[in-house]
Amino acid sequence: MDIPGLPARKAALKLLDAVLRRGETLDQAAQPALQGVRADADRALARALAGEALRWLVDLDALIDSATQQVLPDDAKPRMALRLMLAGWLRLETPPHAVIATGLPLLAGGPRRLAHGVFSTLVKREVTLPDAPTLPAAVLERWGERASAIAAGLAVPPPLDLTLRDPAATAEWAERLGGTSLLPGHVRLARGTAVERLEGFKDGAWWVQDLAASLPARLLGPGEGRRVLDLCAAPGGKTMQLAAARWQVTALDAGAKRLQRMQENLTRTGLSADLVQADALAWEPATAFDAVLLDAPCTATGTCRRHPDVLHRIGPRQIAELAELQAALLERAQRWVGPGGQLVYATCSLERAEGEDQAATVTLTPDPIRSDELPAGLAPSADGTVRTDPAMLPEAGGLDGFFIARWKA
């Protein structure tokens, strides 16, 4: 007999296993894990269950450990299933009887009685989760004094941010879509919105882009026909921003499929850019540019609101490897800025090694970022760089973590 909701739970279990045991991202794991899950609602439920289990993993494990005499290994299937069962009950408000009916079948041929006993004990205790997720110990150590505030910003998945092709139409689109705006050219909508069904999507009036992710391109100002190089350009939000701001954009990325997706989005929005498939560490431009934007490959720990897998699969090795790549890219990028031009460097990371430590190596003249270039409630650091994190702008719905710095030649 088919059990409603069971395919979603099986897929969520595969997602959780892929992240915690194999170190994959949720996005990487999604296609194989969701294969065969036909209903959109079940696919969304699988992602939501896995995401909430990862977001609250430390707290869920503490509850599990409080209700069992034997310590379950981190990757034991009963622990994995219980994480999802508790996430469904405590975060998605699934009734306990439905959680049991869809959770225990995940342990076919295994210790169902153990899982049933642990879950029933916690239900009888009427346990709750804290107001904010507890971060893994290694993350707490890396993020230092801001860690507890950042954790509070992770309690709820983020809203949906849109960047408009025409900033002059901000008020119009905010009203048409029922959203709010924190900057010209920005509209924020409630999470759970089906993007493809929104007015203006097919016409290319906007694209999805977190507010923090939109700041680096904004800091180059209007292009007025000048030439800009967007390094590591995929997924393309920055390229479209620059093209809409009347820059002549050269967008470079190593991935053919990513560039194809960028071209599709440029076509949808009616914008244009010169797309170049190349390795930025081997490519050389014929001439220098008026501006270079390097939003470098990074650990993406700043996106932990929407990608909680980064809390558990990123460690010193990944940070060191990407910092080495960022240093090499920055060394080349600053050489490609023409006289009087600008360089903007950014990463969606909360790690100093990928932000402040990288900026300290640049030999161009600092061009401090001003408060009036940022959304209300954000301010640059004393040195004129910008550091955002999920604890900021809480009343407005928060934003991703980014580091941004700017120089002039």
Measured in degrees and rounded to the nearest 5, phi and psi for residue 161 equal -105, 140
Give the start-end residues of each E strand in 227-336. 227-231, 248-253, 274-277, 289-295
Which amino acid does the sequence have at 91? Answer: R
Yes or no: domain 159-209 corresponds to CATH 3.30.390: no
Given a contact cutoff of 8 angstroms between Cβ atoms, the answer to whether 282 and 328 are in contact is no
Please state the pTM of the whole predicted model.
Answer: 0.94
196-215: pLDDT as tens digits: 899 999 999 999 999 999 99
Looking at the chain, which residues constitute the CATH 3.40.50.150 domain(s)? 210-408
Judged against a pLDDT cut of 60, whether residue 1 lies above it is answered with no
Q: What percent of the chain has pLDDT over 90?
A: 93
Give the architecture (CATH level 2) of 210-408: 3-Layer(aba) Sandwich (3.40)
Say which CATH superfamily domain 6-125 falls into: NusB-like (1.10.940.10)
| CATH 3.30.70 domain extents, the chain | 159-209
| 83-97, 107-121, 338-352, 378-392: least confident range | 107-121
Residues noted as catalytic: 348
3-state SS, residue 130: coil
- What one-letter code names the amino acid at 196? E
pLDDT of residue 120: 97
Residue ranges, comma separated, of all CATH 1.10.940.10 domains in the chain are 6-125
Which positions ≥6 away from 249 have C-beta within 8 Å?
Answer: 228, 230, 239, 242, 243, 272, 273, 274
- pLDDT value of position 346: 98
pLDDT, tens digit (0-9, with 9 covering 90-100), for 216-259 = 999 999 999 999 999 999 999 999 999 999 999 999 999 999 99
Contact 40, 2 (CB under 8 A): no
Q: In which residue are the tokens 């940070």 written?
A: 319
> Which position has the token pair 């009734």?
95
**Average of per-residue pLDDT across 175-204:** 93
Query: Is 60 in contact with 37 (CB distance < 8 Å)?
Result: no
